[in-house]
A and B are shown apart, each in its own frame.
Chain A
């Protein structure tokens, strides 16, 4: 091991003070060992600190176009377990739309620089990355593509445009130049966003992570702060979380429901309790016919009444009640069997059916009989015809399944709609929206 030639010095760093070369106002550089340029708090020119004569780098930031940083420069706060000091403030805008956003430069002498961005009131924490995202579409040099991959996530192109510096204030680790502008593209995968900035000198990638407004408020002890508007490109969707849980619950319950109904249907007794054939007079009426008493087994189950009449371009009507012989509980019913057919303009048609069903659910077990009246019409003949009355107990039925299925779908559908609405709002600000409805 090499000898340390001398004791490590404990150097104290000191702020650098000088007078503005334009207006003479005193300027303090807090971190002269790291910063390369600083703005004059009075006249806003940007000065090269490394130059012995304090050369002016940029002077177009006039006072009339002043923006106020929400977090005052010099404020320190803890984010992601590390302490950061706000040392610079930049406002940039999209050259085409004029949309402006704020960027706060954070500094820690051990960890270097980070950014906090504020976009429509939404905050993100930005770290420069040296690792390049990967795209299957093209080599990532100075062209933007639709999708990029980075650290197991797939990012979608959200924005591309020309960003220009509108205002700067504070001290910076580069030399802020007049008219500095870059090409930018943003790729989102909430809560993350990858940004690519390039000019003809260099290409830089950074990764943003969405920050809750309270996180920023707490970290920097800021009291009043305008809340976020709309949906940010990388804002995590609260509905997506619900939906992704809901989706699996939904599938689980549907499988459960299918299993349960299959089991119940196979277990159903499904037997014929009564089957009687009666005569009726065509185009006539019958009154007060009573069937033999029949037995319904099981404590509680459904009952299916089926009426079948030989109708042919005619109708048969039946009404009556099924009565519990012991308790007198009564179930009323009425049905019409009608069947018509013919040929119209060369096309044959038919409608109706000679069979009708009624399903009564939850009928207690016991002895029952049925009273009924009938009526019929449109018969073109005289004489008697047959109809059949059948009572089946405990039949398998899809009705319960359908209703359960319907109720089971309500919440997932709402959840999905919420999620989709959120995504449509997010992408409404983008030129690359996958939702066609949001083209504007």
Chain B
């Protein structure tokens, strides 16, 4: 995948995330380092998507989605599982989508999102100002997935939630008073 340094794009709003570029951790036993971040906003809030680099394994790049104390790691998967673009507007929370052998996933929410700011290294299509329709799903055994309907492409990510303590994070950002 084409990587491009995008950092120093804009100043980030003051936020409380304990993750920062340079944080290392483990997902299902595999070590990663955080190399970039997108802060994504929607009508009622925002969340962080941290770009991960795995030293070993099939997937070298992944995403750590962080929202309200929930942490999930997901990877690019072929877009063929996603309902086609012309059906996207008809998707509703509660609808079930078959994710191949991963099982049945249920739609949690559908949000119009916008990349608010970004920093560090990111794939070329993760730019500030990029808008998309983001569909979040949850699957069996704490699995999750996101389908992103952007102007020029559909992207699908699948992975699972993991408890904060299981990440065994290092080099976290210090939070004053905690």
Q: Given the complex, which residues of B lie within 8 Å of A8, measured CB to CB?
A: 20-23, 171, 173
Q: Given the complex, which residues of A lie within 8 Å of B53, measured CB to CB?
A: 1-2
Q: Given the complex, which residues of B lie within 8 Å of A132, measured CB to CB?
A: 106, 138, 140
Whether a CB of chain B sits under 8 angstroms from the CB of A406 is no
The reply to whether A2 and B16 form a contact with Cβ atoms under 8 Å apart is: no
The reply to whether A109 and B70 form a contact with Cβ atoms under 8 Å apart is: no
The reply to whether B93 and A113 form a contact with Cβ atoms under 8 Å apart is: no
The total of chain B residues at the interface (CB under 8 A) is 46
**Contacting chain A: which of B7-15, B82-90, B124-132?**
B7-15
The reply to whether A1 and B106 form a contact with Cβ atoms under 8 Å apart is: no
17 contacts between A and B (CB under 8 A): A2-B33, A8-B22, A13-B16, A14-B14, A33-B13, A33-B15, A108-B178, A109-B16, A109-B17, A110-B178, A113-B68, A128-B70, A141-B94, A141-B95, A173-B45, A200-B93, A203-B94
- Per-residue contact bits, chain B 92-106, to A (CB 8 Å; 1 contact, 0 not): 011110000000001
Whether a CB of chain B sits under 8 angstroms from the CB of A111 is yes
The reply to whether A2 and B178 form a contact with Cβ atoms under 8 Å apart is: no
Whether a CB of chain B sits under 8 angstroms from the CB of A233 is no
Q: Given the complex, which residues of B lie within 8 Å of A203, measured CB to CB?
A: 93-94, 108
The reply to whether A2 and B173 form a contact with Cβ atoms under 8 Å apart is: no
A128 to B71, CA, bound (A): 13
B56-102 contacts to A, CB under 8 A, are 68-70, 93-96
Q: Which of B15, B21, B45, B69 counts the most A-chain CB atoms under 10 A from its CB? A: B69
Contact of B174 among A10, A33, A175 (CB under 8 A): A10
- Per-residue contact bits, chain A 87-113, to B (CB 8 Å; 1 contact, 0 not): 000000000000000000000111111
- Per-residue contact bits, chain B 24-57, to A (CB 8 Å; 1 contact, 0 not): 0000000001010000000011100000010100
Whether a CB of chain A sits under 8 angstroms from the CB of B153 is no
Instruction: Supply 13 further A-B pairs (C-beta < 8 A) apart from A11-B173, A110-B178, A174-B45.
Output: A2-B3, A2-B121, A5-B7, A13-B14, A34-B16, A108-B69, A110-B69, A111-B164, A131-B142, A141-B96, A175-B45, A200-B93, A201-B93
Whether a CB of chain B sits under 8 angstroms from the CB of A202 is yes
Measured CB to CB, the closest approach of chain B to A217, in angstroms, equals 23
Whether a CB of chain A sits under 8 angstroms from the CB of B123 is no
Q: Given the complex, which residues of A lie within 8 Å of B142, measured CB to CB?
A: 130-131
Q: Given the complex, which residues of A lie within 8 Å of B138, measured CB to CB?
A: 130-132
Measured CB to CB, the closest approach of chain B to A158, in angstroms, equals 22
A88 to B56, CA, bound (A): 43
The reply to whether A4 and B21 form a contact with Cβ atoms under 8 Å apart is: yes
Q: Given the complex, which residues of B lie within 8 Å of A131, measured CB to CB?
A: 138, 141-142
A50 to B94, CA, bound (A): 29
> Nearest 9 A-B pairs (CB), nearest first?
A112-B69, A33-B15, A33-B16, A141-B94, A4-B22, A34-B16, A8-B22, A2-B35, A8-B20
Whether a CB of chain B sits under 8 angstroms from the CB of A213 is no
Measured CB to CB, the nearest residue on chain B to A35 is B16
Q: Given the complex, which residues of B lie within 8 Å of A113, measured CB to CB?
A: 68-69
The reply to whether B178 and A109 form a contact with Cβ atoms under 8 Å apart is: yes
A360 to B15, CA, bound (A): 89
Measured CB to CB, the closest approach of chain B to A422, in angstroms, equals 34
Whether a CB of chain B sits under 8 angstroms from the CB of A6 is yes
A50 to B39, CA, bound (A): 14
Interface range on chain A (Cβ under 8 Å from partner) = 35 or more
Q: Given the complex, which residues of B lie within 8 Å of A200, measured CB to CB?
A: 93
Measured CB to CB, the closest approach of chain B to A180, in angstroms, equals 12
Whether a CB of chain B sits under 8 angstroms from the CB of A241 is no
Whether a CB of chain A sits under 8 angstroms from the CB of B144 is yes
Q: Given the complex, which residues of B lie within 8 Å of A50, measured CB to CB?
A: 45-46
Q: Given the complex, which residues of A lie within 8 Å of B171, measured CB to CB?
A: 8
Measured CB to CB, the nearest residue on chain A to B14 is A33
Contact of A173 among B35, B68, B93, B108 (CB under 8 A): B68
Q: Given the complex, which residues of B lie within 8 Å of A130, measured CB to CB?
A: 70, 138, 142, 144, 161
Measured CB to CB, the nearest residue on chain B to A199 is B93
The reply to whether B18 and A109 form a contact with Cβ atoms under 8 Å apart is: yes
- Per-residue contact bits, chain A 215-232, to B (CB 8 Å; 1 contact, 0 not): 000000000000000000
Measured CB to CB, the closest approach of chain A to B157, in angstroms, equals 15
A142 to B14, CA, bound (A): 37
The reply to whether B93 and A202 form a contact with Cβ atoms under 8 Å apart is: yes
Q: Given the complex, which residues of A lie within 8 Å of B21, measured CB to CB?
A: 4-6, 8
The reply to whether B17 and A33 form a contact with Cβ atoms under 8 Å apart is: yes
Measured CB to CB, the closest approach of chain B to A246, in angstroms, equals 38
Whether a CB of chain A sits under 8 angstroms from the CB of B5 is yes
Measured CB to CB, the nearest residue on chain B to A200 is B93
A424 to B175, CA, bound (A): 49
Q: Given the complex, which residues of B lie within 8 Å of A320, measured CB to CB?
A: none
Q: Given the complex, which residues of B lie within 8 Å of A36, measured CB to CB?
A: 44-45
Q: Given the complex, which residues of B lie within 8 Å of A128, measured CB to CB?
A: 70
Measured CB to CB, the nearest residue on chain A to B33 is A1
A112 to B178, CA, bound (A): 13
- Per-residue contact bits, chain A 8-33, to B (CB 8 Å; 1 contact, 0 not): 11111110100000000000000111
Measured CB to CB, the closest approach of chain A to B56, in angstroms, equals 11
Measured CB to CB, the closest approach of chain B to A179, in angstroms, equals 16
The reply to whether A10 and B173 form a contact with Cβ atoms under 8 Å apart is: yes
Decide yes or no: A110 and B164 within 8 Å by CB, A8-B21, A13-B14, A31-B16 being known contacts.
yes
Q: Given the complex, which residues of A lie within 8 Å of B152, measured CB to CB?
A: none
- Per-residue contact bits, chain B 142-174, to A (CB 8 Å; 1 contact, 0 not): 101000000000000000010010000001111
A161-219 contacts to B, CB under 8 A, are 173-175, 200-203
A131 to B105, CA, bound (A): 11
The reply to whether B93 and A13 form a contact with Cβ atoms under 8 Å apart is: no
Q: Given the complex, which residues of A lie within 8 Å of B109, measured CB to CB?
A: 201-202
